[in-house]
């Protein structure tokens, strides 16, 4: 069995539902330490963060990943148990196979082989892992980036292992991400009997015209590099369960995925203005998950494109689609950030899987990226 596939299977058989790491990072740290990497723990609370480095002065190339996974959902919906990795018809089925233990294994083995072949390489090559990517993302890479800034740790280039490919390995890379801003609104009304609406104040009725305006609005038409800004409602909660009671409170959770045409502050002001126009009595809490970022053509992006052209015979579609990644915490440090990983095959769904042969190919690509940037 291929070494990358074997390591992926070993990682996938360890249940590590966020923020649990399931011992994955200890396994990887032991392997890398045996090959001369310096190991540093940057844990916070229940979250495990691993920083493994090899090299010295010069540019810093980081491979970034996460060892946590999302819950499996009903195991009865899976064709095989989610934490019993199974290869069928050339596909590895397991929770985390695509997102992103396959990438983590590919990166780790690429780094082992790279330092074996190039023990005196220029600069520093590193593996950065967290168990808080799928969760709140507070004590993971966000925390690590803050610690790095405090001590002056530089990062020049960062390859994120998220499953960026669409139909075949390397056909798509992410060169940036939209920002993510979530609002948690509480609308205040007066509870009462539905037969006496004049004695009550229904927050559902108050919200309806404001929400209709926010949903119908065309926020922008996108930019040359970014998709259009979107507004989506995630949750609405109100009512007592009885059909004859006007609720006294409503909670609304919503999210913006926004491009650089906006700032978080401007979006917040637009929502507050809309609520004010419609007389919505409310309180509102905001959570900024990350600002939009873009990696223009440069050393890392050019290197990845050249490597994919050479190894796979294709020029990837370089775009900023999809959700967020932990690269959003590294980009503000001044790093060039690109997401490069396997095909996004049912990640977060039942029967998550990855093409087994793609794992070794992905590891070879990571190895070549490191060689081009730190040796050639």
Q: What per-residue confidence (pLDDT) applies to 282?
A: 97
Q: What per-residue confidence (pLDDT) applies to 333?
A: 96
Q: What per-residue confidence (pLDDT) applies to 347?
A: 85
- Domain termination site, one of 290, 308, 341: 290
Low-confidence ranges of the chain (pLDDT < 70): 376
Q: Above pLDDT 70, what percent of the chain?
A: 100
Q: Mean pLDDT for the chain? A: 96
Please give the residue range of the domain that contains residue 202.
179-290
- Domain termination site, one of 290, 306, 326: 290
Q: What per-residue confidence (pLDDT) applies to 329?
A: 96
Paired with 126 in beta bridges are 53, 62
Same domain, 273 and 342: no
Closest CA to 142 of 321, 320, 19: 19
Q: What per-residue confidence (pLDDT) applies to 322?
A: 86
Same domain, 363 and 248: no
Q: What's the rounded Cα separation, in Å, for the pair 260 and 263?
A: 7
**Which element (helix H / strand E) includes 112?**
helix 102-117
Q: Where residue 323 sits, what CATH number does that domain have?
A: 3.40.630.10
Q: Where residue 184 sits, what CATH number does that domain have?
A: 3.30.70.360
220 is catalytic: no
Q: What SS3 class is residue 138?
A: coil
Q: What per-residue confidence (pLDDT) applies to 376?
A: 66
Q: What's the rounded Cα separation, in Å, for the pair 24 and 13?
A: 10
Same domain, 228 and 88: no
Judge residue 171's burial from the number of C-beta atoms within 10 Å of its C-beta, 0-12 exposed, 13-18 middle, 19 or more buried.
middle
Same domain, 216 and 167: no
Q: What per-residue confidence (pLDDT) applies to 374?
A: 98
Question: How many structural domains compose the chain?
Answer: 2
- In angstroms, the Cα distances linking 152 to 149, 155, 160, 195 are 5, 10, 21, 65
- Choosing from 21, 68, 358, 368, the catalytic residue is 68
133 is catalytic: yes
Same domain, 208 and 165: no
CB 294 within 8 A of CB 260: yes
Same domain, 13 and 150: yes
Q: What per-residue confidence (pLDDT) applies to 346?
A: 86
Same domain, 19 and 131: yes
- Choosing from 21, 99, 133, 352, the catalytic residue is 133
Q: What per-residue confidence (pLDDT) applies to 339?
A: 98
């Amino acid at each position: 069995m291929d070494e990358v596939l074997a390591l992926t299977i070993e990682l996938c058989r360890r249940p590590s539902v966020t923020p649990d790491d399931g011992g994955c990072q200890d396994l990887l740290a032991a392997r890398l330490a045996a090959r001369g990497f310096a190991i540093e723990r940057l844990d916070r609370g229940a979250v495990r963060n691993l920083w493994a480095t090899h090299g010295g002065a010069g540019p810093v190339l980081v491979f970034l990943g996460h060892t946590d996974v999302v819950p499996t959902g009903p195991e009865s919906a899976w064709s095989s148990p989610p934490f019993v990795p199974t290869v069928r018809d050339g596909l590895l089925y397991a929770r985390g196979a695509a997102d992103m233990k396959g990438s983590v294994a590919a990166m780790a083995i690429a780094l082992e082989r790279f330092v074996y072949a190039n023990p005196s390489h220029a600069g520093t090559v590193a593996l950065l892992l967290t168990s808080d990517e799928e969760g709140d993302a507070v004590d993971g890479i966000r925390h690590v980036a803050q610690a790095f800034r405090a001590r002056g740790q530089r990062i020049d280039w960062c390859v994120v292992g998220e499953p960026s490919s669409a139909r075949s390995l390397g056909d798509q890379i992410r060169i940036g991400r939209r920002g993510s801003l979530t609002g948690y609104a509480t609308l205040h009304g007066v509870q009462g009997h539905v037969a006496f609406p004049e004695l009550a104040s229904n927050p559902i009725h108050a919200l309806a015209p404001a929400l209709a305006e926010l949903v119908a609005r065309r926020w922008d038409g996108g930019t040359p590099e970014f998709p259009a800004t979107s507004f989506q409602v995630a949750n609405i909660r109100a009512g007592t369960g009885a059909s004859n009671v006007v609720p006294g409170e409503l909670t609304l959770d919503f999210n913006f995925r926004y491009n650089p045409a906006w700032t978080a502050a401007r979006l917040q002001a637009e929502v507050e203005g809309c609520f004010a126009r419609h007389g919505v009595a409310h309180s509102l809490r905001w959570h900024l998950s990350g600002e939009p970022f873009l990696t223009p053509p440069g050393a890392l992006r050019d290197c990845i494109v050249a490597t994919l052209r050479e190894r796979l015979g294709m020029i990837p579609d370089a775009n900023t689609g999809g959700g967020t990644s932990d690269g959003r915490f590294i980009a503000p440090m001044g790093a060039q950030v690109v997401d490069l990983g396997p095909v996004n095959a049912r990640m977060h769904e039942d029967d998550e899987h990855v093409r087994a042969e793609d794992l070794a190919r992905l590891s070879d690509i990571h190895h070549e990226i490191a060689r081009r940037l730190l040796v050639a």
